[in-house]
């Protein structure tokens, strides 16, 4: 079939994915790109005893599902498969131990990984704190933040294949003596710009937050207690940073390591890839790919096309397992570790667009149930396909050192990951990951190329015309950041179905993340969007909800809290609230409080269908009773 990309998708593909000659002229089409990738990945079948003819049939299957935009692999696979630039995986975690040799090795490896499109994560937790004495040189340790800045400078030198900037994640344990410095290390916008940061916490810390207790700081080098901090005060600083500019996020390491099936052999996972959805061991990598759920709406039955979805899940698992062998690895250590566990990350995109076609509200019990049902279905099929591949090719080599049972002989130590799908969802012309529709008219800045791409939600435009409420005035209103709520010319059903991310409560955002997380053996990339006027209490509620609902991590973003934004809804500027008004929230809070039954106001809003109530009119402390 001939692949038809939208003009915006063509712009992205031309700048990032299509092969070019020495004069930087594009030398392939979308159809040729997918064929290049499909054939390169299908060739691996011959390493497992398949005949040339069978591998050719596999190539047709791989190419078809990509050409039909039902499945798209992660960017490095699209960029590099079938070329001499063989790095095909997107997600890496590199070890960072406490020695000059290890730090410089990490700097080298970050360059090698990012050279061809990989994103890297690090845990700073094993580095000795700033000011610690170094016995070998009698010097003083510079501390993890200076190491972080050094790695950031290395990453800044690299533009991945001339196509995109390097991306990184730094995680620090909340028990590290330098945790306060880490929480504030990105206070000034633009500093350490190519690293996201997250604080690694566990249930003990979160319980200490609830009880307003102190906790111990541990020197990772000596394993000695170096002091104490009040958990609530540290949590407050995390919440303030997230409100201020979206960082730091939090990673709930207990939940992460529940799915670490090789923990006894390789230890805990303490870091993730740049967007937080893929926890990995040191030197582990994972290649990702996403199924476009918008393509699985069965119009005749007004339901999900489960049969077609099953077929694509099976083919996708096969594809991603082949990628592991087709890869050319940046370092021998990464190849050894990746092939020991053979992790793959099959995820989804287009979920919001599927809901729209089914006329289901994103922020509804029905919407969350569908999300859980889809992820449960994908997990069942993916697990079965991985077991089938293991019978044909063998289990992942570290299986005998894992805690899997005899009926769990998998080819891949984990199978599922829900990634953000930033550019590949643009290629597929669909909503990203499991995110709600960001806006009905918006622009996206391609900082590397200096381009701004404009979009209108195709389903909304179609429905508006079909139901006679389309107008140029309405579209102009939306393009300027306006909401449907204020429009009398838009029917109520459309306002519900076409609700956008900033209009959805944090509770509903987190609930959707939790719905998918239950059946995902890695993590979920999900941004909890807040309007500019969101309060510190709103952010705290989201962080606590994520922990209570079993998520593996959380990232929030308050509109307008950064000068540079990739996605922009409309063009209106919003005035940021006075900081003092927000900081006063902390003055009256000694400990976070659990929402309980309350009749303190006339119009309570139910949170998460749990029986707990709060309201926006009477204030946080009045409705939340300790």
The catalytic residue positions are 273, 275, 277
d(CA 278, CA 559): 25
Element counts in the chain: helices (H) and strands (E): 23, 25
8 A C-beta contact, residue 381 and residue 313? yes
Phi, psi dihedral angles at 228 (to 5 degrees): -135, 155
Distance CA 251, CA 552 (A): 6
- Can you tell me the distance from the alpha carbon of 276 to that of 337, in angstroms, rounded to the nearest whole number? 20
Residue labelled with tokens 């006027």 = 533
DSSP 439-471: -SEEEEEETTTTEEEEEE-HHHHHHHHHTT---
- Residues 306, 328: contact at Cβ < 8 Å? no
Angle at 173 between CA 168 and CA 178, to 5 degrees: 95
**SS3 assignment, position 242:** helix
Asked if residue 433 lies in contact with residue 149, where contact means CB atoms within 8 angstroms, the answer is no
What are the CA-CA distances from residue 407 to residues 33, 124, 125, 341, 487 (Å)?
39, 37, 36, 18, 56
List phi, psi (to 5°) of 215.
-140, 160
Please list, in sequence order, all residues whose beta carbon lies within 8 angstroms of the beta carbon of residue 571, skipping any fewer than 6 positions away.
Answer: 479, 480, 481
H/E/C letters for each residue in 292-354? EHHHHEECCCCEECHHHHHHHHHHHHHHHHHHHHHCCCCCHHHHHHHHHHCCEEEEEECHHHH
- Distance between CA atoms of residues 565 and 547, nearest Å: 27
Residue 458 near residue 429 (C-beta atoms within 8 A): yes
SS (HEC) of 178-226: CHHHHHCCCCCCCCCCCEEEEEEECHHHHHHHHCCCEEEEECCCCCCEE
**CA–CA dist 362, 442 (Å, integer):** 19
Place of tokens 């409100």: 243
């Amino acid at each position: 079939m001939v692949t038809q990309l939208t003009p915006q998708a063509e712009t992205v593909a031309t700048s990032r994915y299509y092969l070019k000659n020495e004069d930087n002229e594009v030398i392939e089409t979308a159809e040729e790109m997918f064929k290049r990738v499909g054939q390169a990945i299908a060739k691996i079948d011959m390493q497992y005893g398949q005949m040339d003819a069978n591998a050719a049939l596999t190539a047709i299957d791989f190419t078809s599902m990509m050409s039909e935009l039902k499945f798209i692999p992660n960017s490095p696979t699209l960029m590099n498969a079938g070329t001499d630039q063989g790095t095909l995986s997107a997600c890496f975690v590199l070890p960072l131990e406490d020695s000059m040799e290890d730090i410089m090795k990490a700097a080298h490896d970050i360059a090698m990984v990012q050279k061809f499109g990989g994103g890297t994560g690090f845990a700073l937790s094993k580095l000795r704190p700033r000011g610690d004495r170094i016995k070998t040189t009698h010097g003083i340790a510079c501390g993890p933040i200076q190491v972080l800045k050094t790695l950031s400078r290395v990453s800044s030198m690299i533009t991945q294949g001339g196509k995109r900037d390097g991306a990184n994640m730094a995680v620090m344990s909340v028990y590290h003596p330098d945790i306060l410095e880490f929480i504030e290390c990105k206070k000034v916008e633009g500093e350490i710009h190519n690293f996201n940061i997250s604080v690694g916490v566990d249930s003990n810390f979160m319980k200490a937050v609830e009880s307003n207790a102190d906790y111990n700081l541990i020197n990772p080098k000596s394993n000695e207690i170096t002091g104490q901090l009040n958990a609530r005060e540290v949590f407050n600083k995390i919440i303030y940073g997230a409100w201020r500019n979206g960082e730091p996020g939090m990673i709930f390491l207990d939940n992460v390591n529940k799915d670490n099936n090789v923990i006894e052999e390789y230890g805990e996972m303490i870091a993730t890839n740049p967007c937080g959805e893929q926890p990995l061991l040191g030197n582990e990598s994972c290649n990702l790919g996403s199924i476009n759920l918008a393509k699985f709406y069965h119009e005749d039955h007004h339901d999900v096309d489960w049969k077609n979805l099953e077929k694509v899940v099976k083919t996708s698992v096969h594809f991603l397992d082949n990628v592991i062998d087709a890869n050319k690895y940046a370092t021998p250590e990464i190849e050894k570790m990746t092939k020991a566990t053979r992790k793959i990350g099959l995820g989804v995109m287009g979920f919001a667009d599927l809901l729209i076609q089914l006329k289901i509200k994103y922020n509804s019990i029905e919407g969350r149930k569908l999300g859980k049902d889809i992820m449960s279905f994908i997990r069942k099929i993916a697990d079965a396909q991985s077991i089938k591949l293991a019978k044909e090719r063998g289990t992942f080599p570290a299986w005998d050192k894992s805690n899997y049972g005899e009926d769990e002989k998998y080819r891949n130590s984990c199978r599922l990951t829900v990634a953000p799908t930033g550019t590949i969802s643009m290629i597929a012309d669909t909503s990203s990951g499991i995110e709600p529709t960001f806006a009905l008219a918006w622009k996206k800045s391609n900082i590397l190329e200096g381009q701004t791409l404009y979009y209108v939600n195709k389903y909304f435009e179609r429905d508006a015309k079909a139901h006679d409420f389309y107008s140029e005035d309405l579209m102009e209103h939306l393009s300027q950041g306006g909401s449907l709520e204020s429009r009398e010319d838009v029917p109520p059903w459309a306002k519900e179905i076409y609700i956008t991310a900033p209009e959805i409560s944090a509770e509903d955002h987190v609930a959707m993340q939790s719905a998918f997380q239950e059946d995902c053996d890695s993590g979920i990339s999900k941004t909890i969007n807040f309007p500019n006027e969101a309060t510190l209490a709103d952010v705290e509620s989201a962080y606590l909800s994520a922990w209570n609902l079993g998520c593996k991590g959380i990232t929030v973003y308050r509109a307008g809290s950064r000068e540079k934004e990739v996605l922009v809804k409309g063009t209106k500027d919003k005035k940021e609230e006075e900081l003092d008004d927000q900081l006063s929230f902390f003055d009256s809070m000694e400990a976070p409080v659990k929402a309980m039954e309350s009749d303190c106001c006339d119009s309570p809003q139910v949170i998460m269908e749990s029986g707990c109530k709060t309201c926006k009119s009477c204030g946080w402390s009045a409705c939340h009773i300790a």
